[in-house]
């Protein structure tokens, strides 16, 4: 139907699940064509007390399945000096516009 579908791949701390289960589910959903996943810093949602995926999990999935970001986001990442024209993340450095902006605050 053209509706982007995503998922928060997660489990609560009292469930019989672990990070291996999350990695398997992430990969299966990626192969199935999921449009987006939820990521939280460190994969640990301390507010809701559950384990989720982290930002690096999306990078893993994109690299393994050779998927690109949305063109508008990819363009912005390149302009900000965060990613190159291939979509690969650049090393952190002073050339990144967001870091330069943060230094002025």
Please give the residue range of the domain that contains residue 10. Answer: 1-67
CA trace torsion 103, 40, 2, 85 (10° rounding): 40
Find, among 97, 101, 63, the residue nearest to 79 by Cα: 97
Q: What is the reported pTM? A: 0.76
Residues 59 and 75 in one domain: no
In total, how many domains does the chain have?
2
Q: Is 61 found in the same domain as 38?
A: yes
pLDDT digits (tens, 9 = 90+) for 26-61: 999 999 989 889 888 888 888 888 899 998 899 899
* Residue 63 and residue 73 in one domain: no
Task: Please report the pLDDT score of residue 95 as a whole number.
Answer: 67
Residues 31 and 78 in one domain: no
95 and 50, same domain (yes or no) = no
Q: Does one domain contain both 29 and 57? A: yes
- Spatial separation of the C-alpha atoms in residues 18 and 10, rounded to whole Å: 10
Q: 66-95 pLDDT, tens per residue? A: 998 889 999 999 988 888 888 888 887 766
Average pLDDT of span 2-19:
85
- 48/74 same-domain check: no
Q: Does residue 3 sit in the same domain as residue 36? A: yes
Q: Does residue 1 surpass a pLDDT of 70?
A: no
């Amino acid at each position: 139907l053209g509706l982007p579908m995503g998922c928060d791949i997660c489990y609560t701390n009292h469930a019989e699940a672990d990070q291996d289960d999350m990695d398997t589910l992430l990969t299966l959903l990626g192969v199935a064509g999921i449009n987006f996943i939820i990521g939280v810093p460190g994969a640990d949602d301390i507010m809701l007390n559950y384990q989720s995926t982290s930002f690096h999990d999306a990078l893993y999935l994109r690299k393994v399945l050779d998927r690109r970001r949305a063109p508008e986001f990819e363009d912005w990442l390149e302009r900000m000096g965060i990613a190159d024209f291939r979509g690969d993340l650049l090393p952190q450095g002073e050339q990144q516009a967001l870091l330069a902006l943060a230094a002025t605050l």
